[in-house]
Structure 1
């Protein structure tokens, strides 16, 4: 009888464990990756001109179109929620695809065309674009929606002669980032914000003392975050994985992004995020 009870108890525990594992798998692969959150991040920047007080930048990162999660419907939902924040600017910080871009142009162009902001939409390339054989479809999708692609370039926003300079470096992983070239194009006045796909690039950016804020993605926030265990992130996102950091005078925000890569193409305890960056003058 004692052995029988032990066997029955073991079977019950095994069934419970299997049920929990099954439910967790369904949640991590089918529910959380589609459960978008909108997060507001207030950032205080030294020297920000009062005309840019409360300036709102919506950051979208790591879309990974045509993945198991990011189908046309989900991509349109991302664009709709971004527009609903009534941003002054939308910044796309790379990885619009996972592998090849051939089948993604129409889907991305459709979603990009729905993005509306007072001062337009700017974008940079990520490692998945630069690792693809041909990124012409991505460039065409951006161009069709009049999105300004910043390949080591600067886009300045003028408010009565006061400037907010949005600089963007090309992908660092594939050695396309040219920070000196980008800095050469910065105006002598104004507040400077840098878009760089890989967050660990912030160490190089901070050393220049030219930027008040860097916006990055790439890490997916770890994507699967287990209690009491460190977040696991890709190369060039080892130091800065998720959230707001300060490196010297530079502040860095790392968005967990809205898409997924894998295997496994799942999220756990790390919801996909539309990041709303609100600028304030440091007191």
Structure 2
């Protein structure tokens, strides 16, 4: 196989039944597409099958419409839903942030250096503090302050902006506002949030300080899709690190922020690489 040909990504799901892998791989072979990587999972809890394939197309030529037309009758008897993602597709990502900049900085660095194959057409914030950072990256920054009276109007502006910029994914990089049920419905399946994971569940202001007072022994973070249950959406990635009595609150905050940015990066990467599938209220992440 030629090394300069980038792989396409094929993802699909269907009811668990005999022949699901065969119908895909047999078609790939007959069409002359070389399978580089194949990951699959049969979810016994939901009786759903999930598959992700990276493949190099037939060197004689490749046409998406032709692929779909030829594969459709084979997939029909499995009621299989599938998607093709072209090489180097750059997912259009809107970042929402408040005042903490660690997750935003990390995402923009990985965007700038090519570690994340994304475009960031805009940043939305309820505070003006990080506008200079956005300007340095030449990214439009929209300051939409939130009050109880303006919340609905501002959220409607957000959705309008996301439509105007053709946004595919929204990342809440420590956006410290509770989204309304209406906005959660608008963003279902295409918005990722990050928050600290501390046990017991320290809520409200200064959670790391609360944890320190209880002698916390580990800090962590969870990245998940948003839904109408606050911080309880389907989980994509998690991170954790042990700490001890020698760490004071400020050190816990720093360690926690490190885990938050790495966990959020992993979740975004999984999503844009089409590795995440929803199976009811949980996620299937087809990763190594």
Normalising by structure 2, what TM-score? 0.36
Normalising by structure 1, what TM-score? 0.37
Which structure is higher in strand share?
2
